[in-house]
Amino acid sequence: MNADPGAGVALIEDEIVPVAEARLPILDWGFLHSDATYDVAHVWQGRFFRLEEHLDRFFAGMDALRMYIPHDREAVSNRLHDLVAASGLRDAYVEMICTRGQPRAGSRDPRTCTNRFLAFAVPFVWIADPAKQETGLHLTISRMQRIPPASVDPTVKNYHWLDMVQALFEAYDRGAETAITVDAEDNVVEGPGFNLFVVQGGDLATPATGVLPGVTRRTVIELGDAHGRGVQAQSVRADTVRGADEVFITSTAGGVMPVTRVDGALIGDGKPGPVTRALRDAYWRLHEEPWYTQAVSYERAAGVRHGD
């Protein structure tokens, strides 16, 4: 490869190339129409975390969008392992993608498209890095409504993010760092790549509808159940977030991350709360458990095909 593999690598046409050299044809509907689905897993200290759950969601998304790739889940898993091994990254953000591809020349019939599989591995991405997690994020509740589920199914991971990008700009204009969107009834739903939880009187709640059911969200729900602190999936009003004892967000890109300010006002005493901290610590301890993780064999990199 012609670039530093530590910066990331990509799988394009079944060849591993430096991520900076990865290209998608301009006529691919993944680019032209945002006609694609994807999923993101992470590698921490040389081990994939809950990769099987990410593969489940990726293949379910392709089924929902009537997409097909000539690889079964074992083959996709092997390719992701190969990518990380080739990158040499011990902490990585790993994305698998299926695009609609290109239709037959002169056609707009999606049935004539050959779907395209690609993937990349880059250094671990944080929504809030460990230093920021010690103080917590400032979040705004956006006036931007998320695309309704009746229009775009949020349980199929997609790139329809214009509403969330506009919400981010709104947050930056208001001096915040990130944002949560709402539905037509002023219930919070999801943010750019994360789910949201609130803690009130020791009880936990997370939005039930209009959201991608994240793998990290699922992990937190399981941890709550295991520790006798059940999580209610329900409608969560914007005012409930503003008045919560604790607020945190969850994502593959950073795990469990505290929010200590909403719309400029402090949450609780303005510091990450005890429930958030306990769940964050429990989440990262799971990364040491073999039944949640898969070790990357970095020795296999020598046998992986690279682009010229």
pLDDT at residue 300 tops 90: no
Looking at the fold, whether 230 and 94 belong to one and the same domain comes out as no
> What pLDDT sits at residue 202?
87
Looking at the fold, whether 114 and 136 belong to one and the same domain comes out as no
| Domain annotation covers residue 204 | yes
286 versus 300: which is more confidently predicted? 286
| Domain annotation covers residue 308 | no
What is the pTM for the complete model shown? 0.94
pLDDT at residue 94 tops 50: yes
> What pLDDT sits at residue 228?
84
Residue 244 in tokens: 């919560």
With CA atoms as reference, report the closest residue to 219 among 127, 300, 291, 138.
291
Domain boundary among 124, 150, 173: 124
Residue 130 in tokens: 């460990």
| Domain annotation covers residue 56 | yes
> What pLDDT sits at residue 227?
86
Looking at the fold, whether 111 and 141 belong to one and the same domain comes out as no
> What pLDDT sits at residue 23?
95
Looking at the fold, whether 29 and 166 belong to one and the same domain comes out as no
Q: What is the pLDDT of residues 256-266, one digit of tens each?
A: 999 999 999 99
| pLDDT, mean over the chain | 95
- What percentage of the chain carries pLDDT values higher than 70? 95
| Domain annotation covers residue 301 | no
Number of structural domains, the chain?
A: 2
Looking at the fold, whether 96 and 149 belong to one and the same domain comes out as no
Burial of 13 (0-12, 13-18, 19+ CB in 10 A): exposed
Distance of alpha carbon 157 from alpha carbon 27, whole angstroms:
22
Distance of alpha carbon 124 from alpha carbon 198, whole angstroms:
26
pLDDT at residue 115 tops 70: yes
Report the first-to-last Cα separation within the chain, whole angstroms: 6
Residue 94 in tokens: 């790993």
Q: What is the pLDDT of residues 6-44, one digit of tens each?
A: 799 999 999 999 999 999 999 999 999 999 999 999 999
**Confidence band for 4, pLDDT divided at 50, 70 and 90:** low
Domain boundary among 109, 124, 139: 124
Distance of alpha carbon 272 from alpha carbon 261, whole angstroms:
10
**Confidence band for 3, pLDDT divided at 50, 70 and 90:** low
Looking at the fold, whether 220 and 270 belong to one and the same domain comes out as yes
Q: Quickly count: other Cβ atoms within 10 Å of residue 179's Cβ.
A: 24
Distance of alpha carbon 197 from alpha carbon 206, whole angstroms:
5
Q: What is the CATH number of the domain that holds 265?
A: 3.20.10.10
Our measurement of the distance from residue 278's CA atom to the centroid of its chain's CA atoms, rounded to an integer in Å, reads 22
Q: What is the CATH number of the domain that holds 99?
A: 3.30.470.10
> What pLDDT sits at residue 274?
96
**Confidence band for 284, pLDDT divided at 50, 70 and 90:** very high
Please compute the mean of the pLDDT values over residues 228-243 and round it to a whole number: 95
When mean pLDDT is compared across 28-32, 61-65, 82-86, 228-232, the lowest value belongs to 228-232
> What pLDDT sits at residue 302?
56
Looking at the fold, whether 111 and 148 belong to one and the same domain comes out as no
Looking at the fold, whether 243 and 98 belong to one and the same domain comes out as no
pLDDT at residue 2 tops 70: no
Please compute the mean of the pLDDT values over residues 37-55 and round it to a whole number: 98
> What pLDDT sits at residue 282?
97
Please answer whether residues 140 and 170 qualify as being in contact, where contact means their C-beta atoms are separated by less than 8 angstroms.
Answer: yes
| Domain annotation covers residue 273 | yes
| Domain annotation covers residue 307 | no
Looking at the fold, whether 89 and 155 belong to one and the same domain comes out as no
Q: Which domain covers residue 148, as residue numbers?
A: 130-288
**Confidence band for 306, pLDDT divided at 50, 70 and 90:** very low
Q: What is the pLDDT of residues 165-211, one digit of tens each?
A: 999 999 999 999 999 999 999 999 999 999 999 999 989 999 999 99
| Domain annotation covers residue 283 | yes
Q: 129-134 contacts: CB < 8 A, separation 24 or more?
A: 129/254, 132/257, 133/254, 133/257, 133/258, 133/272, 133/280, 134/272
> What pLDDT sits at residue 308?
35
Looking at the fold, whether 111 and 183 belong to one and the same domain comes out as no
